[in-house]
Amino acid sequence: MTAGADDPRLQRASAYLAGVLSRASRLAVVTGAGVSAASGVPTFRGAGGLWRTYRAEELATPQAFDRDPRLVWEWYDWRRQHLAACRPNAAHEVLARWQGRWPELALVTQNVDDLHERAGARDVLHLHGSIWDVRCARGCARGRAAVRDDRVPMVPLPPPCPGCGGLLRPGVVWFGEALDATTIDRAAAAVAASDVVLVVGTSAVVHPAAALIPDAGAGRQFVVEVNPDETPLSARVNVQVRLPAEVALPAIEAALAR
C-alpha cells in the first residue's frame, strides 16, 4: 500500500490490518531507526542518515574505540545530548498502548534510544543495547554492571571505569560484536510464538536482527512492514504499508477502535 495520510486507501488498508490484528493473540513488533525519525532522531542509512555524514567503521566498531576513544565518546555524547531533548512520537505511543491490549506483545528494537520506554512501553528487547548504558571496555565486572548515566554531557570524556581504571564505553553493540545472547534468544522466541509480526522503520540490512523477521508464508506468522520506502524485506512480507510509522500506526489504532 502506498498512500498519503488522507488517502481513502489508507482507511481501507487500516481497516484490513485492524481485522488482521484483532484476530491475533500474540504480536511481535520489530522496530528500527525509522520509528524514531519523527522524534528528530536521525536514522543511519538514507537521506539525512548518520552514515551519510559519519563513517561507521570510524565510530561504531571496537577498532574505532581502541584507536580514538575520545572521538567515539564525543560522537555518542553528542547523540545523547540530542536524544535527551527528543520526545516519543505517535508511533511509540501507539505501540506502548498496544501492550495494554495485547499483554504479551513483544517489542523488539534495534534502537539504542529509550523512546519506546518513555512512551510507556515495558520489557523492550534492545538488540543493540542502550545509548544510556555504559560498560567497561576491558569487560571488568564492576564496569560491566550497566551504569545508566543520563548526565549530559558526560564528564570527563572518555569516562574512567570505576572498577579497573581503564575506560568505560557506550553500552551499545558495534559492528563485529556479538549481540547479547539472552536478548536475541528472547526476541527469536517471541517472534516464533507470534501470529503477526509488525516490522516498523528498519532497512532490514543489519544482521542478525534482520534474520529474526520470518518470510511471509515460511511460518505461521503474518508479516507486515511499515516503512515509507522499499527495503530488501519488502518482497518477503504479506503486506507493505508505505507510510511513515507515525501516520500508519495511529490510523490502524483508530480502525481497531471502530
Binding site for Zn ion (CB under 5 A): 136, 138, 140, 143, 161, 163-164, 166
Residue 11 CB, shortest distance to ligand BJW, in Å, is 19
* E strand or H helix at 216: none
- Pairing, β 239-241 against β 125-126: unpaired
Report the site for ligand BJW in 14-73 (rule: CB under 6 A): 32-34, 37-38, 43-46, 49, 60
Residue 229's binding partner among Zn ion, ligand BJW, none (Cβ under 5 to 8 angstroms by kind) is: ligand BJW
**What residue number has its CB nearest to ligand BJW?**
34
Report the site for ligand BJW in 114-143 (rule: CB under 6 A): 128
Q: How far apart are CA 228 and CA 38, in angstroms?
A: 12
Q: Which set of grid coordinates corresponds to residue 119?
A: 512512551
User: Positive or negative CA dihedral for 53, 126, 207, 201?
Assistant: negative
Q: How far apart are CA 199 and CA 107, in angstroms?
A: 10
Residue 35 CB, shortest distance to ligand BJW, in Å, is 6
Amino acid at site 186: R
The backbone torsions φ and ψ at residue 124, rounded to the nearest 5 degrees and listed phi first, read: -75, 130
Binding residues for ligand BJW (CB under 6 A): 32-34, 37-38, 43-46, 49, 60, 110, 112, 128, 172-178, 201-203, 205-208, 226-229, 231, 244-246
